[in-house]
Amino acid sequence: MRQIAFLLVAVTMVAGTVAYVLPASGQTHGEPTQIFVTKIPPGYRDFRLISVAHEEGNLNSLGAVLGNDVAIKAYREGKLPFPDGTIIAALHYSHVPSQENNKVFGDPQSFVPGSPTNVQFMVKDSKKYATTGGWGYAHFDKDGKPGTEAALQTCAPCHAKASRDSVFTQYAP
Amino acid sequence: MRQIAFLLVAVTMVAGTVAYVLPASGQTHGEPTQIFVTKIPPGYRDFRLISVAHEEGNLNSLGAVLGNDVAIKAYREGKLPFPDGTIIAALHYSHVPSQENNKVFGDPQSFVPGSPTNVQFMVKDSKKYATTGGWGYAHFDKDGKPGTEAALQTCAPCHAKASRDSVFTQYAP
């Protein structure tokens, strides 16, 4: 379990997501004191490419980082902080050799996405997520199940270490 | 030179492109006997994600494979052969460690796109490129310069070894 949590954190740190969000002040009447991004943003698979990512070690991950129109515009204009409405999606897959490619190549050098492992999101809403730098974080496993609270709690403080508005991923031209 | 040609071929084989195309029969009046795709398809950076790719060895490449609307629709419907109008773009970058990510991780495990190396395309036009399986191939280096004829000649025969209409890249869900 501890290892699973670590993996989740690790993916989160680099690729850009997972959600543990405290509500803006003023919450009352028994509302939860933590807000998680619990729904997968619709249409994210049609977002445009920001970049790609490869993680070795225990993660063994190959991923794509996509952005909605607001995100792509901000990236291309170099606009920081990212404006409200920005959604960044990180699609992760296992990093597996391509038997077909390698056979043609004659060398075991080609790696492609294997099974999906998770999808993670960063959603910018400076009011709703004011206590975590304006970002809501989300993680969903391959079956769409959200990450655990314990894992989600690690997202924001780690992302805060990124030098560009809590976002690690840079735009690939 | 031989090595450069090999690299070009290798990228081509796996990611899906580069152009050496014989014209359909009936060419006359001094027209060239070879057709290269010489112009970069406009708007390709806004194409949607098909998949990502990692090549080790001499290539040391991290890439994204994108498709225009025709390509994405065909992929999602599992339609083979790909219809005319399909454009598949392979954006390649050097595979470099992310100093920032690794510092946060505490482990040298994170790799991201470095400098762009080339962009390659497959363009489906069953009449224009009838002699090469309906595909026109194109390769442009980081400065937009097309690949050499020698390198481009290797594209079609190698892609013909792919089991899905000369396309190696499969759709990542």
- Is B100 domain-assigned? yes
Say if residue B10's pLDDT is above 60: no
What per-residue confidence (pLDDT) applies to B11? Answer: 41
- Is B164 domain-assigned? no
Contact assignment for B109 to A57 by CB distance below 8 Å: yes
Chain B residue numbers with beta carbons less than 8 Å from the beta carbon of A169 are 112
Q: Nearest-CA residue of chain B relative to A48?
A: B48
Query: Under a CB-based contact definition with an 8 Å cutoff, are residues A54 and A30 in contact?
Result: no
Chain A residue numbers with beta carbons less than 8 Å from the beta carbon of B163 are 100
What per-residue confidence (pLDDT) applies to B65? Answer: 98
- Is B121 domain-assigned? yes
How far away is chain B from the Cα of A83, in angstroms, using its nearest Cα? 20
Residue A122's contacts (CB-CB under 8 Å, 6 or more residues apart) are A16, A17, A86, A87, A88, A135, A136, A137, A138, A159, A166, A167
- Is A134 domain-assigned? yes
Among B13, B54, B109, beta carbon nearest to A62: B54
Tokens representing A6? 């670590």
What per-residue confidence (pLDDT) applies to A153? Answer: 84
> For residue B35, what pLDDT band results from cuts at 50, 70 and 90?
low
Return the SS3 of A115: strand
Structural domain boundaries, residue A104: 2-159
Chain B residue numbers with beta carbons less than 8 Å from the beta carbon of A10 are 105
What is the rounded distance in angstroms from the CA atom of residue B126 to the CA atom of residue B84? Answer: 6
The pLDDT tens digits for B116-163 are 999 999 999 999 999 899 999 999 999 999 998 888 889 999 999 999
Query: Under a CB-based contact definition with an 8 Å cutoff, are residues A43 and A136 in contact?
Result: no
Region of B165 (left: φ > 0; alpha: ψ -120 to 50; beta: rest) is left
Say if residue B167's pLDDT is above 70: yes
Among B49, B101, B158, beta carbon nearest to A64: B49
Location of structure tokens 């280096």: B141
How far away is chain A from the Cα of B119, in angstroms, using its nearest Cα? 11
Contact assignment for B53 to A110 by CB distance below 8 Å: yes
- Is B9 domain-assigned? yes
What per-residue confidence (pLDDT) applies to B107? Answer: 86
- For chain B, the residues whose C-beta falls within 8 A of a C-beta of chain A are 10, 13-14, 45-49, 51-57, 59, 62-64, 66, 91, 93, 95, 98, 100-101, 104-105, 107, 109-113, 116, 158, 161-163, 168-170, 172-173
pLDDT in 10s for each residue of chain A, 173 residues: 344 433 333 444 444 433 333 333 333 344 443 557 889 999 999 999 999 999 999 999 999 999 999 999 999 999 999 999 999 999 999 999 999 999 998 889 999 999 999 999 999 999 999 989 999 999 999 999 999 888 888 999 999 999 999 999 999 99
Closest among A60, A72, A95 to B48, alpha carbons compared: A72
- Identify the CATH number of the domain in which residue B25 sits: 3.50.70
What per-residue confidence (pLDDT) applies to B9? Answer: 37
Query: Under a CB-based contact definition with an 8 Å cutoff, are residues A38 and A145 in contact?
Result: no
What per-residue confidence (pLDDT) applies to A159? Answer: 94
Chain A residue numbers with beta carbons less than 8 Å from the beta carbon of B47 are 48-49
Chain A residue numbers with beta carbons less than 8 Å from the beta carbon of B48 are 45-49
Contact assignment for A14 to B110 by CB distance below 8 Å: yes
The pLDDT tens digits for B69-124 are 999 999 999 999 999 999 999 999 999 999 999 999 888 999 999 999 999 999 99
What is the rounded distance in angstroms from the CA atom of residue B56 to the CA atom of residue B16? Answer: 16
What is the rounded distance in angstroms from the CA atom of residue A76 to the CA atom of residue B65? Answer: 20
Q: How many structural domains compose chain A?
A: 1
Return the SS3 of A93: strand
- Is A172 domain-assigned? no
Location of structure tokens 């100093």: B99
Among B47, B48, B52, beta carbon nearest to A52: B52
Contact assignment for B109 to A49 by CB distance below 8 Å: no
- Is A168 domain-assigned? no
Contact assignment for A48 to B51 by CB distance below 8 Å: no
CB neighbour class for A149 (10 Å; exposed up to 12, middle 13-18, buried from 19): exposed
- Is B170 domain-assigned? no
Contact assignment for A13 to B104 by CB distance below 8 Å: yes
Query: Under a CB-based contact definition with an 8 Å cutoff, are residues A70 and A87 in contact?
Result: yes
From residue A46, alpha-carbon distances to A75, A90, A163, B49 in Å are 17, 13, 27, 7
Query: Under a CB-based contact definition with an 8 Å cutoff, are residues B102 and B108 in contact?
Result: yes
